[in-house]
Amino acid sequence: MKIDNFKAETWMTLHENNCLYNLADACAQSLTLDELLNFSQDKETKIQDILNMKLDYGPIEGSHQLKQGILKLYQTGDDDQIAITHGGINANELVLISLLEPQDHIITITPTYQQIYSFPQSLGVSVDFVNLKEENDWLPSIYEFEKLIKPKTKMICLTTPNNPTGTTFDKTFLEKLVVLARKHDLYIFCDEAYRGLGENEVSISDIYEKGISTAGISKILSAAGLRIGWIKTPDKNLIKMINERRDYHIISSGSLSDYLACVVFQHYDQIIERNKSIIQENKKYFKSWLKDNPLVSCVIPDHGTVCFLKYHLDIPSAVLAEKLQQDTGVFFVPGACFDLEYHLRFGLANNPQTVKKGLTLFGNWLKTI
Ligand SMILES: Cc1ncc(COP(=O)(O)O)c(C=O)c1O
């Protein structure tokens, strides 16, 4: 099975570890284990629980407590409507591989997270794209999806908030999309890895019987290292089918990750508040930085942790990102990794000190070229 190179992942693997100022990270500033346990009144008990823990497979399909924690992100659902996975990336893979067959057709957006289209293409699925346009604040119309529907269309795939543009598909938009999907009996699959930092961010799994949501604790909950993700859908048979396939992929997420992910959800409100305030501080700085740096513009999103900077220079994005990193240590993911030139992916929830220093260096560097 041939598969296209995952461009953003490859870029990060090659460049991320030798940068000084990572301005591209999509995860809200990761927690240390100590910071996580410090949220608890009973830190010592938790440390003892961890030290006494048997390093076995743990609850194979994920613990009840973990699934109840995950439901904090949804308005509806119970344990049977959730499958626990190895991060959101494995959740996406399991949804796509369980439902799609060669010759099926799906519709998604571009630019977006490459897994959503390259992985299905590797299965022999054909993909059509709705182009998100910056001049429309990256928001498409329902008609753009409608006109791409074919007899073989099985699924509409969205990432909301989107990576890299940060676009949120709000309740009104999703409700209209549900009407369209229902008419053609289509699944709507939403990668919701970045959902949960804003008010009024609806999950497709709460409003559509063939809606599938995937997410994880990496981005808005700052715990990527635990590798916990999930799939949620009202369709219990689909969860059963996915769990049967999941047996071939991951067996379990492991007792330690399950336990610590439950701790993350015990302190859900505190972690979300922490990350909202990081984003607020960074956005404030970034807005004033933009005023001083007319070579860069950006549609700043309401939600999520990432946005897509546009720079007004005729230099290919990979060349610019590489040179910038060499000269200053500032790291971005170039737009080329998302098939859109003259852009850079910027993470709005990174450590504010890093963001301020990195943007200052970037601004000074722009003046020298
Ligand atoms: C849209 C989107 N989905 C899923 C993932 C995978 O996240 P994880 O496997 O860490 O939960 C990412 C990571 O960058 C992402 O941007």
Task: Please give the distance, rounded to the nearest whole angstrom, from the Cα atom of residue 88 to the centre of ligand 1.
Answer: 5
Task: Please give the distance, rounded to the nearest whole angstrom, from the Cα atom of residue 158 to the centre of ligand 1.
Answer: 13
Task: Please give the distance, rounded to the nearest whole angstrom, from the Cα atom of residue 219 to the centre of ligand 1.
Answer: 8
Q: From the alpha carbon of 215, which atom of ligand 1 is closest?
A: 11
Task: Please give the distance, rounded to the nearest whole angstrom, from the Cα atom of residue 304 to the centre of ligand 1.
Answer: 12
pLDDT for 342:
98
Residue 236 parent element (H or E): helix 236-249
* Secondary structure of residue 143 in the 3-state scheme: helix
Q: What angle do CA 130, 132, 138 make, to 5 degrees?
A: 145
Pocket test for ligand 1, best of 9, 219, 232, 337 (most atoms within 8 A of CB): 219
For CA atoms 279, 216, 108, 180, give the dihedral sign: negative
0.95 cut: is pTM over it?
Answer: yes
Binding site membership of 252 for ligand 1 (Cβ less than 6 Å): no
Which tens digits make up the pLDDT trace of 70-91? 999 999 999 999 999 999 999 9
pLDDT for 1:
85
Task: Describe the strand order of the beta sheet including 211-216 as a list of residue ranges.
Answer: 82-86, 228-232, 211-216, 187-191, 153-159, 105-110, 126-131
Pocket test for ligand 1, best of 86, 157, 194, 218 (most atoms within 8 A of CB): 218
Separation between Cα atoms, residue 56 and residue 266, nearest integer Å: 23
Which tens digits make up the pLDDT trace of 17-74? 999 999 999 999 999 999 999 999 999 999 999 999 999 999 999 999 999 999 999 9
pLDDT for 232:
98
Task: Please give the distance, rounded to the nearest whole angstrom, from the Cα atom of residue 296 to the centre of ligand 1.
Answer: 26
- Write the residue with the smallest CA distance to atom 14 of ligand 1: 26
The candidate with the shortest Cα–Cα distance to 256, out of 71, 74, 36, is 36
The candidate with the shortest Cα–Cα distance to 305, out of 280, 285, 325, is 280
Please list the ranges in the chain whose pLDDT falls under 70.
none
143-172: string of b/e by CB count within 10 Å (b at 16+)? eebeebbeeebbbbbbbbbbbbbbbbbbee
Q: With contact defined as beta carbons under 8 Å apart, do 37 and 43 qualify?
A: yes
CA separation, residue 174 to residues 180, 207, 326 (Å): 10, 9, 43
The candidate with the shortest Cα–Cα distance to 64, out of 277, 341, 262, 331, is 262
Tokens of 326: 């060499």
Token pair 């390093």 is found at: 55
Binding site membership of 91 for ligand 1 (Cβ less than 6 Å): no
pLDDT for 366:
97
pLDDT for 4:
96
